């Protein structure tokens, strides 16, 4: 393979987004549009990636500080040819260049590979047969079928406007030619712009072959110009991801009602019900069932675990065969070993829960180490925060915490200890014993009258 340079054009303002954010920083699948393009570019192993930026430039650069990118400023947007001209000093003499557009997020890696392979001695453009070609550059072919020019819509004659084969803007060619052609492009046209597309006529005039590779995948060449385009593209991306999951054998109750905003890896026989959102890196093991309306972010859920509806999981490790939810909230730092139950309205934060323990109802367990086979009664709270610092609660194997207990950390409940319901535990509770701490023991007052409403 010969050396590859990739130039991504991203200087357009994106007025129709009606936003202060530069167009290419708007997101699909929770990832900036431009990042999708950069990821595709990186996957092609280029020698260099050059991004031509303009409007909102600093913000765009800041969003990609860790990427190996050569940034080139196009202060005035004088056309695609002018944009590429800004990148010329960075192009390697002995390389080929692939031009990509920064606002086309679903650009297809395989199609790019094809263009690159053909671009060693000629100009290759990617075209598309568009139902309504209005606004696009038309591919002009000689009667023999050879590509002889691209004519922009505004410069086209009535009969040329009837051509439905359009330029996608994606093309590849040897730098040896590009560097020469770019100096020969003028702005003598309807828009007074320097058209990159003029390279086609220049190539033909100089006897360099030009070929157009027609793609049938419209979304892979569709740019985003408005919020309508953005929301449509989001669905296209989500459908693509849903189809990949289905092909891998994941059962989706409705392929149109899943959102994956990151990487979702699934084992065999995973079932996902409607309206679940997956963010960041999520790994799901074999036979895991995820019920409807769950939000799961940066988590691992091991084989056989079942997540009931409306559960939120963030930065959590869930072992095998756990039962979580409905309405549970697992916050960062939480680790569940296997066979635990976490029920409704239970919040866990930085809590490590060992095998077979149960926290079934209405509890807050934060900064806590819970042993094996522990039972935590309804309404139990670990008081982990004194207003300034946080402390840990340790509950050892086999302990039973009665309902409505407050465990004021730092505190340890020993192995097989029992805490009576309604206790406020401020000191360590010894192993094996019953510990209780109530304001006063129960008594009954006979003849007591309920208060009456004041007239
Ligand atoms: C361009 C093509 C047209 C093609 C269409 C596909 C030219 C002259 N025309 O149209 O044949 O059908 O794309 O969408 O190339 N950009 C810059 N600097 C500029 C101008 C544009 O960086 O000065 C970038 C934009 O950010 C965008 C891309 O180039 O990513 C295409 O620009 P856009 O204005 O959308 O396309 P057209 O020039 O109308
Ligand atoms: Ca334009």
Q: What is the pLDDT of residue 413?
A: 98
Span 405-417, mean pLDDT?
Answer: 97
Span 138-161, mean pLDDT?
Answer: 97
Span 2-20, mean pLDDT?
Answer: 93
Q: What is the pLDDT of residue 137?
A: 98
CA separation for the pair 152, 174 (Å, rounded): 23
The answer to whether 3-221 and 227-445 have equal CATH topology is no
Ligand nearest to the CA of 50: 1
CATH code for residues 3-221: 3.90.550.10
Convert the pLDDT of each residue in 340-373 to its tens digit: 999 999 999 999 999 999 999 999 999 999 999 9
Tokens read off for 236: 């296209």
Q: What CATH class is the domain 227-445?
A: mainly beta
pLDDT band, very low/low/confident/very high, at 443 (cuts 50, 70, 90): confident
Tokens read off for 96: 């080929």
| CA of residue 187 to ligand 2 center, whole Å | 12
Q: What is the pLDDT of residue 96?
A: 98
Task: Tell me if 361 sits within 8 A of 345, measured CB to CB.
Answer: yes
Q: Tell whether omega for the bond before 326 is within 30 degrees of 0, i.e. cis.
A: yes
For every residue of 51-97, DSSP letters joined together read: EEEBTBHHHHHHHTTTS--EEEE-SS---HHHHHHHHGGGS-TTEEE
Instruction: Please calculate the CA angle 11-15-16 and round it to the nearest 5 degrees.
Output: 125
CA separation for the pair 313, 300 (Å, rounded): 10
Q: Which atom of ligand 1 is nearest to the CA of 195?
A: 8
| CA of residue 431 to ligand 1 center, whole Å | 73
List of residues 6+ apart from 56 with CB closer than 8 A:
21, 22, 25
pLDDT band, very low/low/confident/very high, at 31 (cuts 50, 70, 90): very high
For atom 11 of ligand 1, the residue with the nearest CA is: 137
Span 447-455, mean pLDDT?
Answer: 88
Inform me whether the pLDDT recorded for 440 exceeds 80. Answer: no
The mean predicted confidence, pLDDT, of the chain is 96
Q: What is the pLDDT of residue 406?
A: 97
What is the CB-side half-sphere exposure of residue 2 using CA atoms within 13 A? 21
85 vs 444, residue with greater confidence: 85
Q: Which atom of ligand 1 is nearest to the CA of 167?
A: 12
CA 3 to chain centre: 31
User: Is residue 47 flagged as an active site residue?
Assistant: no
Inform me whether the pLDDT recorded for 13 exceeds 90. Answer: no
CA separation for the pair 439, 104 (Å, rounded): 67
Q: Which atom of ligand 1 is nearest to the CA of 196?
A: 15
Inform me whether the pLDDT recorded for 1 exceeds 70. Answer: no
Convert the pLDDT of each residue in 106-118 to its tens digit: 999 999 999 999 9
Between 109-118 and 33-43, two packed helices, what is the crossing angle to 10 degrees? 50
Convert the pLDDT of each residue in 209-265 to its tens digit: 999 999 999 999 999 999 999 999 999 999 999 999 999 999 999 999 999 999 999
Q: What is the pLDDT of residue 281?
A: 98
CA separation for the pair 168, 131 (Å, rounded): 14
Inform me whether the pLDDT recorded for 439 exceeds 80. Answer: no
Tokens read off for 385: 């925060």
List of residues 6+ apart from 33 with CB closer than 8 A:
23, 24, 25, 26, 27, 102, 103, 105, 224
| CA of residue 155 to ligand 2 center, whole Å | 12
Q: In sequence order, which ranges of 79-226 are alpha helices (DSSP H)?
A: 80-87, 109-118, 158-161, 175-182, 199-205
For residue 365, the cross-strand partners are 348
What share of the chain has pLDDT > 90, as a percent?
94
- 262: part of which helix (H) or strand (E)? strand 258-266
For atom 33 of ligand 1, the residue with the nearest CA is: 12
- As a dihedral over the C-alpha atoms of residue 213, residue 84, residue 2, residue 42, rounded to 10 degrees, the angle is -90
Which residue ranges have their beta carbon within 6 Å of ligand 1?
Answer: 9-12, 52, 74, 77-80, 82-83, 101-103, 136-137, 150, 152, 166-169, 195-197, 223
Query: Which region among 55-64, 155-164, 306-315 has the lowest average model confidence (pLDDT)?
Result: 55-64
Span 85-103, mean pLDDT?
Answer: 98
Task: State which of 16-20, 272-276, 436-440 shows the largest mean pLDDT.
Answer: 272-276
User: Cα(first)–Cα(last) distance of the chain, in Å?
Assistant: 93
- Tell me the domain boundaries of the chain: 3-221, 227-445
């Amino acid at each position: 393979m010969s050396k590859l340079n990739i130039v991504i054009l991203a200087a357009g303002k994106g007025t129709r987004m009606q936003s202060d954010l530069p167009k290419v920083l708007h997101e699909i699948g929770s990832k900036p549009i431009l990042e999708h393009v950069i990821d595709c570019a990186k996957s092609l192993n280029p020698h260099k990636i050059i991004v031509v930026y303009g409007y909102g430039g600093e913000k765009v650069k800041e969003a990609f500080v860790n990427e190996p990118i050569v940034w080139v400023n196009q202060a005035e947007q004088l056309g695609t040819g002018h944009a590429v001209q800004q990148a010329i000093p960075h192009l390697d003499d002995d390389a080929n260049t692939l031009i990509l557009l920064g606002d086309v997020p679903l650009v297809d890696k395989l199609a790019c590979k094809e263009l690159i392979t053909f671009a060693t001695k000629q100009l290759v453009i990617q075209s598309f047969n568009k139902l309504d070609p209005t606004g696009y550059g038309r591919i002009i072919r000689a009667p023999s079928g050879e590509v002889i020019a691209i004519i922009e819509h505004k410069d086209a004659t009535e009969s040329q406007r009837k051509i439905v084969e359009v330029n996608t803007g994606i093309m590849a060619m040897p730098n040896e030619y590009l560097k020469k052609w770019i100096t020969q492009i003028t702005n003598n046209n309807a828009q007074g712009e320097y058209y990159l597309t003029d390279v086609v006529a220049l190539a033909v005039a100089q006897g360099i072959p030009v070929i157009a590779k027609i793609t049938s995948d419209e979304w892979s060449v569709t740019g985003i110009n408005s919020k309508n385009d953005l929301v449509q593209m989001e669905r296209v991306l989500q459908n693509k991801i849903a189809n990949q999951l289905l092909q891998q054998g994941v059962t989706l109750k409705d392929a149109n009602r899943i959102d994956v905003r990151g990487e979702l890896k699934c084992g065999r026989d995973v079932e996902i019900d409607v309206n679940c959102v997956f963010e960041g890196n999520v790994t799901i093991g074999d036979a895991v069932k995820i019920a409807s309306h769950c939000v799961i972010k940066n988590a691992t859920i091991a084989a056989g675990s079942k997540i009931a509806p409306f559960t939120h999981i963030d930065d959590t490790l869930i072992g095998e065969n756990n039962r979580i939810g409905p309405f549970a909230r697992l916050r960062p730092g939480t680790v569940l070993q296997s066979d635990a139950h976490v029920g409704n309205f239970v919040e866990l934060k930085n809590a490590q829960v060992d095998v077979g323990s149960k926290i079934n109802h209405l509890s807050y367990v934060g900064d806590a180490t819970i042993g094996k086979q522990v039972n935590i009664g309804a309404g139990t709270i670990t008081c982990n925060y004194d207003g300034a610092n946080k402390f840990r609660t340790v509950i050892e194997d086999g302990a039973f915490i009665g309902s409505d207990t407050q465990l004021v950390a730092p505190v340890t409940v020993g192995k097989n200890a029992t805490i009576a319901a309604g206790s406020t535990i401020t000191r360590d509770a010894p192993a094996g014993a019953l510990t209780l701490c109530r304001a006063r023991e129960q008594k009954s007052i006979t003849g007591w009258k309920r208060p009456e409403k004041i007239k």
